[in-house]
Amino acid sequence: MTSIFRDDLFSGRVALVTGGGTGIGLGIAEALARHGADLAIVSRKAENVGPSADRIAGATGRRCLALTADVRQPEAVEAAVDQIVAELGGLEIVVNNAAGNFYCPSGELSPNGFGTVIDIDAKGTWNVSRAAYRARMKDHGGQILNISATLHHGGTPGQVHVAAAKAAVDAMTRTLAVEWGSLGIRVNAIAPGPIAETEGARRLFSGERADRLQRMIPTRRLGTIDDIVSLALFVLSEAASNINGAVIVSDGGLSLTGRFGIEP
């Protein structure tokens, strides 16, 4: 993708992207590096971040750490944040992108299945935001960008666990934006609709379901990773310095139709 943004937009900044080794997280991580940031990508699986970090560093000339930590474990998150600040010299941008999802009708979902997604999406977002705040942002300001969703804006069958978790992410976005705004910390969220070629797409819609979804989307196309990357760069840039506590939808207008394409 040819970027409309300045090459040095994020130079001198240090970023952390959770789930930054694949999909939307990788897209955002690579774009931040291409626009001057040094960064760390974090995943619970080393194989998800090692090769991606090497590729980002090789392609951009920026520093890119590959860190292994499960966002569900506060101590592991705090250690990763401390390592980033020590090795890269700061932490101005956090992108809470790590998430878990699977389709499961509510009556068949186990307590642990529900709790696992709450732990990854909601508690994980909190663990990383809290660690970044305490280690760096409370004294130096910064930005937190949460990757939310649209499936909880209405009701989406088979997604009760994810809907509850993403609603919590949106609530945290607004609450922390208000509480930390005076410290120079902006907290926002992007709510992607269906995005093609992601793990979420593979799990929730593919084949005939993707075709049907495409016909339901007012713009008649699925979203792309580049759509979300461009929006993330804008929200994290100074051009958006008055945007705080916003949950910005990028879904071609699908959520206005009241349907996500998964039928009961």
> Where does this chain bind ligand COA (CB under 6 A)?
99-102, 104, 109-110, 112-113, 116-117, 120, 199-200, 203
- Phi/psi for 65 (5° steps) reads -85, 140
- Least distance in angstroms from the C-beta of 199 to ligand COA: 4
What's the angle, vertex CA 146, arms to CA 38 and CA 50, rounded to 5? 40
Tell the smallest beta-carbon distance from residue 119 to ligand COA (Å).
8
Smallest gap from Cβ 197 to ligand COA, in A, equals 12
Tell me whether residue 92 or residue 251 sits nearer to ligand COA (CB atom). Answer: 251
Question: What is the C-alpha to C-alpha distance for residues 54 and 65, in angstroms, rounded to an integer?
Answer: 8
Sheet holding 38-43, edge to edge: 64-68, 38-43, 14-18, 93-96, 142-147, 185-192, 247-250
Q: How far is the CB of 162 from ligand COA (least distance, A)?
A: 7
**Structure tokens of 132?**
């970044």
Nearer to ligand COA, 58 or 207 (CB): 207
Nearer to ligand COA, 135 or 231 (CB): 231
The first and second tokens of residue 28, run together, are 């955002």
Give me the residue whose beta carbon is nearest to ligand COA: 100
Of 50 and 245, nearer to ligand COA (C-beta) is 50
- Nearest distance in Å: CB 109, ligand COA: 6
Output 37 or 99, the one with its CB closest to ligand COA. Answer: 99
Burial call 87-122: b when 16+ CB within 10 Å, e when fewer: ebebbbbbbbbbbbbeebeeeebeeeebebbbbbbb
